[in-house]
Structure 1
């Protein structure tokens, strides 16, 4: 599917998100396994040359097609008007540590926020060739051969992915490690930790029953695409305490169905002082 400069409309934005994510994924895939320079960002966090190169490829696609839109990139920061109605949120390599140690669990996230809503988004898996994408109304996965299949969430796996990466901004009110240690969690679910928001797309696709994280996710380059995918696919998506997601520093419970969401909400409630 091609993108024509100046083409407008929700469907066009979704195709642009998909194309940009594919461009970033191609770079990540091509550089995998090589000796990559590392750039320290903060304690325990770093970027590699693959992160930077993938972001450049994504921004080249976005700026060629939408030169007037604002952008927030994980590596390059914010550009464009601070109060822009349209802002692209770009995470060129989610799962950098996995990638740096040659573990093929990483995603490339591209999302468009228009006013308060994410209207188009894509998460690409560089290694499977799949791209999970949405126009805000429905969600699909595009396979490596170019065919699209609509996403159908299901909790049948009972697998719940939990973000265990520090810092833990909601502690002591919520700590993911305590959630996993709760007997009620073990009775119903099985934990998984892939350390990439690719797992949020997997909830929309029915490959995970749910995903749980804390933190402030407003305008998050990491989570915007996955949340949009889950919403469009029909998942139950809220903050950690049932509040509207992205309404504050409330984290995320994205669940395949209301029953799974209610069970996780109750388990989180057990931790609240």
Structure 2
């Protein structure tokens, strides 16, 4: 295995994706969390597969996994963020819209990352300088585009910003309908699709996403690909603002920020 961090991220994401595919369609034990949230046997097995790769390749690094929490000291300032199965509810309902996310967080943010689609066989990845999609062993540079006008909106609760912004309200906004075509896939795979030019934009009102196991990989991909990435207030993510607006170009980003601000006014 190559010793580069991005190769480690890709290998880890591919290992998790293989575990997710292997479990698909089989009976799944559910492990309840808070409220209606749950993990499944596939989540646990995929995270183990990812951690096995990271522990061999980067034994000195810390890891934060969605299911197992934090392991390792991370005294070197390097922490891997792992979401073994983003879209667990989809997966449990035998819907093939899921992602396996692995990102390396350092003092300057998450630059190296991989987001795998277990069922298409694609792995979206970045080394921090550019972003690519790997399929059947071939890498293709990701080029964002807003041409489709497809905008994915996260409708999963909770809604921490509902007093100033609620995604469901945007879907009914005539100005939004006039400019864009809404989509809801309930997985962070949609963030990678913005980097790939398959979506014009993505919005969520989740808090503090820069170190989120769910979103760190997608954010790193979009930043490396040249997307416009901010919080809902238009400020950089590292300033602690709420939510995420990632768009294929400045014009789309500006239009979406206008629609967000329209709610708060």
Do the two structures share a fold, i.e. TM-score over 0.5?
yes
Contact preservation (8 Å) 1:218, 1:247: no
Kindly provide the CA deviation profile for residues 179-235 of structure 1, in whole angstroms up to 9, marking residues without a partner as x: 111111000001101000000000000000000001221310000000000000000
Question: Contact 1:38 / 1:49 at 8 angstroms: preserved in 2?
Answer: yes
Partner of residue 182, structure 2:
191
Q: Which residue of 1 aligns with 2:154?
A: 163
* Alignment partner of 2:57 out of 60, 65, 68: 65
- After TM superposition, the structure 1 = structure 2 runs for residues 87-236 of structure 1, keeping only pairs within 5 Å, are 87-143=79-135, 145-216=136-207, 217-236=209-228
**Residues 98, 117 of structure 2: 8 Å contact kept:** yes
User: 1 CA distance for matches of 2:227 and 2:42?
Assistant: 32
C-alpha RMSD over aligned residues:
1.1
Q: Gaps spanning 5+ residues in structure 2: where?
A: none
Q: TM-score, normalising length from structure 2? A: 0.97
Residue number in structure 1 paired with 2:236: 244
SS in 2 for 1:47: strand
Would you say the 8 A contact 2:122–2:134 is kept in 1? yes
Q: Which residues of 2 match residues 253-272 of structure 1 at below 5 A?
A: 253-272=245-264
Q: Distance in 2 between matches of 1:262 and 1:211?
A: 13
Superposed displacement of residue 119, structure 1: 2.2
Report the Cα offset of residue 84 of structure 1.
5.2
Alignment partner, residue 23 of structure 2: 31
Q: CA deviation at 1:250?
A: 1.3
TM-score, L = length of structure 1: 0.95
Where 2:212 maps in the other structure, the secondary structure is coil
Secondary structure in 1 matching 2:102: strand
Contact 1:140–1:150 (8 Å) recurs in 2: yes
* Pair 1:75-2:63 in alignment: no
Contact 1:154 1:207 in 2 (8 A): yes
For residues 66 and 270 of structure 1, do their structure 2 counterparts lie closer, same or farther at Cα, with a shift above 3 Å needed?
same
- 3-state SS of paired residue (2:146): coil
CA distance 1:121–1:131, change in 2 (3 Å): same
- TM-superposed CA distance for 1:249, in Å, is 4.2
Q: 1:83 Cα deviation (Å)?
A: 6.3
Q: How many residues are paired up?
A: 264
Distance 1:188 1:25 in 2: 35
